[in-house]
């Protein structure tokens, strides 16, 4: 009986092996006040992620942008209705003031050295707030979608504060790569982001493969083990082979769904 339980004993270990990769994506993010978001992208640069809910009935989105921030720095996330990159971007800057209060300033970017202040954007900002916790800043906002377009250009940045105000960010490395487009309906992206929709499919493929692969191997050899002539390796080997087979099939089906 002890031998026959080997595959079931190993199953939680195999599943646990996938947790570190999931923990590095936006799928593991949680928010205060039990806020929930239906879609997210783990952005490739600056350690950031963006979460959103799209409301087609009134052409708005609820957004949560999350990124690490230095002790004397700022972060920003923006939509650019007129093009790609920084110029023309409609940004939300977040930083902590000298009084410790988090400030979120809507600022339209029209020059290389914008005056960051609590201003207006080219579209409506219905609400905005920020939270700083353990060196990570989260910007919450509800925005009007420019022209009700569901594919939009996004830009995100981080930089230092100077005399309590955001100053020029680095013009090398990840700071010049942090832009792209995002489809709010499908979650597909171009530029520096990962496809959250596809990531969920791949995650499902992994978990499905491990679970069904091992269980299939377990039951197929269960009777032989009880008869006393099956080596435990004969169970583990089919488990691995079945897992690989089902994972490949799951990924193929996910690609075409």
What one-character-per-residue DSSP string does 23-69 give?
Answer: HTSGGG---GGG---SEEEEBSSTT-EEEEEEETTTTEEEEEEEEE-
- Give me the pLDDT at residue 256, please: 36
**What radius of gyration do the chain's Cα atoms show?**
24
Other C-beta atoms within 10 Å of 53: how many?
16
**pLDDT tens digits in sequence order for the chain, 257 residues long:** 544 444 545 544 444 444 333 345 899 999 999 999 999 999 999 999 999 999 999 999 999 999 999 999 999 999 999 998 899 999 999 999 999 999 999 999 999 889 999 999 999 999 999 999 999 999 999 999 988 899 999 999 999 999 999 999 999 999 999 999 999 998 887 776 555 544 444 444 444 544 444 445 544 555 555 555 455 555 455 554 555 554 444 444 443 33
What are the distances in angstroms from CA 4 to CA 103, 216, 233? 60, 13, 11
80-100 confidence digits (pLDDT tens): 999 988 999 999 999 999 999
Rounded CA gap, 158 and 78, in Å?
12
Residues of each annotated binding site for heme b: 204
Query: What's the predicted TM-score (pTM) here?
Result: 0.69
Question: Quick one: tokens of 112?
Answer: 């290389």
Residue with tokens 């902590």: 96
| Domain extents in the chain | 3-18+198-256, 29-192
Rounded CA gap, 90 and 121, in Å?
6
Rounded CA gap, 137 and 238, in Å?
47
- Give me the pLDDT at residue 112, please: 86
- Give me the pLDDT at residue 233, please: 54
Residues of each annotated binding site: 204
Residue with tokens 């990531």: 199
| Domain 29-192 top-level CATH class | mainly beta
- Give me the pLDDT at residue 3, please: 45
């Amino acid at each position: 009986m002890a031998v026959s339980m080997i595959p079931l004993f190993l199953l939680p270990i195999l599943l646990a092996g996938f947790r570190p990769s999931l923990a590095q994506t936006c799928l593991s993010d949680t928010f205060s006040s039990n806020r929930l978001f239906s879609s997210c992208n783990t952005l490739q640069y600056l350690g950031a992620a963006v979460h959103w809910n799209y409301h087609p009935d009134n052409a708005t989105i609820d957004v949560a942008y999350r990124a690490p921030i230095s002790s004397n720095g700022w972060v920003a996330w923006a939509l650019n209705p007129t093009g790609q990159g920084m110029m023309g971007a409609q940004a939300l800057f977040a930083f902590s003031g000298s009084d410790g209060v988090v400030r979120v300033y809507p600022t339209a970017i029209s020059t290389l050295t914008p005056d960051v202040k609590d201003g207006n954007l080219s579209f409506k900002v219905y609400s905005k707030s920020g939270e700083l916790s353990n060196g990570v800043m989260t910007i919450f906002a509800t925005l009007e979608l420019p022209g009700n377009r569901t594919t939009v250009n996004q830009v995100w940045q981080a930089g230092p504060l100077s005399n309590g105000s955001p100053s020029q960010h680095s013009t090398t490395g990840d700071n010049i790569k942090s832009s792209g487009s995002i489809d709010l309906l499908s979650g597909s992206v171009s530029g520096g982001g990962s496809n959250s929709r596809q990531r969920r499919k791949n995650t499902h493929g992994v978990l499905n493969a491990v679970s069904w692969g091992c269980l299939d191997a377990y039951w197929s050899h269960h009777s032989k083990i009880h008869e006393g002539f099956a080596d435990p390796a004969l169970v583990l080997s089919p488990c691995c082979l079945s897992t690989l087979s089902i994972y490949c099939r799951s990924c193929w089906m996910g690609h075409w769904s």
